[in-house]
A and B are shown apart, each in its own frame.
Chain A
Amino acid sequence: MSWIDIGHIDDIPLRGARVVKTPVGCVALFRTAKDEVFAASDTCPHKGGPLSEGIVHGQSVTCPLHNWVFDLNSGQAQGADEGQIATYSVQLDGDRILLDSTSLGQRSAA
């Protein structure tokens, strides 16, 4: 594990998301109502919609293009839709958001 400081938690709106550009493409950092932070692919497997623009509810996000709903813990699409988004290790150190670079670097390292 190699934790990279991405920023302050308040840089992300409550029940919102921000994007981080990475070697594996855009990763969305989600902040829930309870100040939990999740990291997952910003790209919906359905039509490539930007998940960081979706509505964050509970520990889920809804894609803004066609309302696919993803569980941010597992990356699994919910309901009738089938699909999965990659999830990444992220943690909070106080107010700082730390992202695991090894999980992001896999593709470029390979």
Chain B
Amino acid sequence: MKQKLVVIGAGMASGRVLEHLTDAAPDAFDITLFNAEPRGNYNRIMLSPVLAGDQTYEEIVTHDDAWYAERGITCRFGEKVVKIDRDLKVVEGENGHVPYDKLIFGTGSNPFMIPMPGHDLDGVIAYRDLEDTEQMMGMGAGNKVVVIGGGLLGLEAAAGMAARGADVTVVHIMGHLMERQLDPAAGYLLKKSLEEKGITVLLNAKSTEIAGKDGKARALLLEDGTELPCDLLVMAVGIRPNTALAQETGLAVGRGIHVDDQMITSDADIYAVGECVEHQGEVFGLVAPLYDQAKVLAQTLLGEDAAFKQRSLSTKLKVTGCDLFSAGDFAEGETREDIVFRDPARGVYKRLVLEGDKLVGAVMYGDTADSNWFFGLIRDAEDVSEMRETLIFGPAYQGGATADPLSAVAALPPEAEICGCNGVCKSEITAAIADGATDLGAIRATTKASASCGTCTGLVEQLLQVTLGDDFQMPTAQPICGCCDLTHEDVRRLIKSQELKSQEAVWQELGWKTLNGCHVCRPAVNYYLLADWPVEYQDDPQSRFVNERKHANIQKDGTFSVVPRMWGGITNPAELRAIADAAEKYDVPTVKVTGGQRIDLLGVKGADLPYIWSDLNKAGLVSGHAYSKGLRTVKTCVGTDHCRFGTQDSTGLGIKLEKLLWGSWTPHKLKLAVSGCPRNCAEATCKDIGLVCVDSGFQISIGGAAGMDVKETELLVQVPTEEEAIEVVMAVTQAYREGGKYLDRLYKWMAKVGLDWIRETVVDDLDNRRALAERFELSQSIYRKDPWAEQAKEAPRFAPMADLTLEAAE
């Protein structure tokens, strides 16, 4: 004898149960189907295309009358179930009773309406069923619509009505759209594409009231006082499982109707399926788990063993023509790393979230072709370390263990962005290669690609290799010189981590192949040691280039130039007199004013150096370090002292800075300037560190140069006080000293670490800023002294050791 099965609700989940049941055992049940809506099962997901006019209702019907008739299902559509008598096992409909042996709740969910004033006005609807859809389809040009809710449904509704010509505003309470499925970057792209369709998107917007007129909604009021006029207001803020009938029936109900793994409710003959259920504390809104439940329920009814298991979920959606995908957990975390791919031209954004060797989350926008593959990797917790380099390019580039990153680069479309810092796409680089830029330096010079943070250097090199083939030699990490196998960066790191405090320790521990280096590596190592261990390590003049050993610049004829220091470019008659006297006494052929506001005495004989220094010392003049990879000059303008435009005492600050920084060694020369106002007469914006005084304080910018490369500084920070300006300058100098590669000017170091990193760690991190300034001061306690005074004591060393010309003449 057939069992009597009654189903309440003709939705997608219960519809799927009926399909399974009637396919597997057509004659097992005598089925009655109640539905409050006056129609059978249709694909609710496809309401959006109906709204947009892409499909008709007829096209989205899953089960038509013929289908129910074929399967012998008694349909009671448009009839609400009033009551269930569990003792008698009878369902009481509006039009009569139906007895049951088994009963299925497929009552679905109700849209959640925010209970704000005016929510019950006419013209306030949800987006749930065909009736809602039809109301929205009535909106067109000249109509204003407000949609509350920036989730999937709200956006679908907004896009559909916008496509029909309505003026649509989306009001979303969160900071970005679809915050449960998308990260902020993808949310941003989505917002942009909606705005391109003419939709206004208001984020962080809290609705407070719906204003009405004659019982009809007139406008939405926001907390900030904004009033958004509307002819129709769509509330799409979420759904709630529809449990009212179940509750009245006395079933166990939480957020949804409680079911076990077999979809059985607290009554053994009553089942529930779909959006109305709660399983292990979870409720469900996406179609995939609902279909799983339907399958399990059908099997349970047929006496088969089956159990519903919750699976990790991915969301793959198409919103308004934009492909979206998200899966897993894509929140940021300390132990997590991101791989991000952006192609602004195509509006593509992909982000993979890795934790250890596993892919744990993914967000994609614009191109979701590979989403299933990524979802598989997340679901199966696969080890992705082997393919990490090409992971983001998808499965097409995973040739087993020997993934070739070159094929991935070759496959990139011409408009794919290679260098994010400078916005350089692949085709620009390949064009530059075709025009003769055949190495990294030339690419940087012609396109700027990889010329900023440098993280795309690998991609650019691969592109060179792909384009030029064997004509391009992929560079390996360059060792300092032939004496060792290590790069500058390696050596710096190892000197710190292994606490190597002498040259011998470096040669030994780092496997130098020569006895004591060469003219290339030894000055670098000497610098690294004295910068990292200012107290422990003794500077070695014999490891310095002649200028720094002689504290004067060697000229092409072997003579030297002598530049006394003039603090901030300020001098006085006594100093000038001493300089004039010295120039006469030592037959200095050329006296020149330098660009750094100093006086240069050129053509001094080597043996005379200690004597001219001694004379200059007596007048209070010290070495100007015009020869050093260290602080050179602090150029100033006259600031508030004399200038009618000056905003601060730029001269005074320049002198203070010079007195603090002089004598310090840096990876390459370090030039500063302080201008008293934005007219910038001291040319501060082409210095390694430039300060421009403004009324409200001091703008500190860094990374300028006016040499082989001409660079304008970039603003690091503006600070209100002179004290803070000085601390920032000291901290930046120390960070450059500790991190820079020998012979890299500050702008090169900045290009490697990034201005943002410098700002974060050196400026904004106050503890670190102070620590850097303190380390600088510690080093300066040793190096802030006049080398001329010391060298002058060693005068005999500057003379020939012996003169054999006299003896030979005898």
- Give the top 4 A-B pairs by smallest Cβ distance, nearest first: A62-B519, A64-B546, A18-B801, A53-B546
Chain A residues numbered 25-44 whose CB sits less than 8 Å from any CB in chain B: 26, 29, 33-34
| 8 Å CB contact of A7 from B523, B541, B542, B802 | B802
Compute how far the CA of A64 lies from the CA of B553 in the bound complex, rounded to whole angstroms.
11
**A92 in contact (CB, < 8 A):** no
| 8 Å CB contact of B542 from A15, A18, A58 | A15
Q: Is the CB of B804 within 8 A of A57?
A: no
List the B side residues contacting A60 at CB < 8 Å. Answer: 518
List the B side residues contacting A62 at CB < 8 Å. Answer: 518-519
Residue picked from A4, A12, A22, A34, most chain B C-beta under 10 Å: A22
Compute how far the CA of A58 lies from the CA of B515 in the bound complex, rounded to whole angstroms.
6
Compute how far the CA of A67 lies from the CA of B522 in the bound complex, rounded to whole angstroms.
14
Closest to A109 in B: B808
A–B pairs, 26, beta carbons within 8 Å: A4-B804, A12-B801, A14-B542, A20-B801, A21-B800, A21-B803, A21-B805, A23-B804, A23-B808, A33-B515, A53-B554, A53-B558, A53-B606, A54-B546, A55-B522, A55-B542, A55-B543, A56-B542, A57-B517, A58-B515, A60-B518, A67-B519, A69-B518, A99-B804, A101-B804, A104-B804
**B426 in contact (CB, < 8 A):** no
List the B side residues contacting A12 at CB < 8 Å. Answer: 801
List the A side residues contacting B518 at CB < 8 Å. Answer: 55, 57-58, 60, 62, 69
> Provided the pairs A4-B807, A20-B801, A20-B804 are in contact, do residues A15 and B516 lie with their beta carbons within 8 angstroms?
yes
**B545 in contact (CB, < 8 A):** yes
| 8 Å CB contact of B808 from A47, A50, A58, A104 | A104
Q: Is the CB of B554 within 8 A of A65?
A: yes
Closest to A33 in B: B516
**Contact pattern, A 81-110, Cβ under 8 Å of B = 1, otherwise 0:** 000000000000000000101001100100
**Contact pattern, B 326-352, Cβ under 8 Å of A = 1, otherwise 0:** 000000000000000000000000000
List the B side residues contacting A7 at CB < 8 Å. Answer: 801-802
> Provided the pairs A19-B800, A19-B801, A55-B545 are in contact, do residues A49 and B558 lie with their beta carbons within 8 angstroms?
yes
Compute how far the CA of A16 lies from the CA of B801 in the bound complex, rounded to whole angstroms.
13
List the B side residues contacting A50 at CB < 8 Å. Answer: 554, 558, 606
Closest to A53 in B: B546
List the A side residues contacting B804 at CB < 8 Å. Answer: 4, 20-23, 99, 101, 104
Compute how far the CA of A13 lies from the CA of B541 in the bound complex, rounded to whole angstroms.
9
Q: Is the CB of B541 within 8 A of A105?
A: no
Closest to B543 in A: A55
Closest to A8 in B: B801
Compute how far the CA of A19 lies from the CA of B606 in the bound complex, rounded to whole angstroms.
11
Residue picked from B546, B803, B809, most chain A C-beta under 10 Å: B546
Residue picked from A21, A49, A56, most chain B C-beta under 10 Å: A21
Give, as a whole number of angstroms, the nearest-CB distance from B511 to chain A: 16
Compute how far the CA of A69 lies from the CA of B520 in the bound complex, rounded to whole angstroms.
11
Q: Is the CB of B519 within 8 A of A57?
A: yes
Q: Is the CB of A65 within 8 A of B556?
A: yes
Chain A residues numbered 65-80 whose CB sits less than 8 Å from any CB in chain B: 65, 67, 69
Q: Is the CB of B516 within 8 A of A108?
A: no
> Provided the pairs A14-B542, A65-B554 are in contact, do residues A55 and B519 lie with their beta carbons within 8 angstroms?
yes
**B598 in contact (CB, < 8 A):** no
> Provided the pairs A53-B550, A58-B515 are in contact, do residues A26 and B542 lie with their beta carbons within 8 angstroms?
no
Residue picked from B545, B557, B802, most chain A C-beta under 10 Å: B802
Give, as a whole number of angstroms, the nearest-CB distance from B132 to chain A: 81
Compute how far the CA of A13 lies from the CA of B558 in the bound complex, rounded to whole angstroms.
20
| 8 Å CB contact of A64 from B516, B543, B554 | B554
Compute how far the CA of A46 lies from the CA of B197 in the bound complex, rounded to whole angstroms.
71
Compute how far the CA of A105 lies from the CA of B517 in the bound complex, rounded to whole angstroms.
35
Residue picked from B549, B550, B797, B808, most chain A C-beta under 10 Å: B808
**B476 in contact (CB, < 8 A):** no
Given contacts A55-B519, A65-B556, 16 further A-B contacts (CB under 8 A): A6-B801, A14-B542, A15-B543, A18-B797, A20-B801, A20-B802, A21-B800, A21-B803, A22-B808, A33-B515, A34-B515, A50-B606, A53-B550, A55-B522, A57-B514, A101-B808
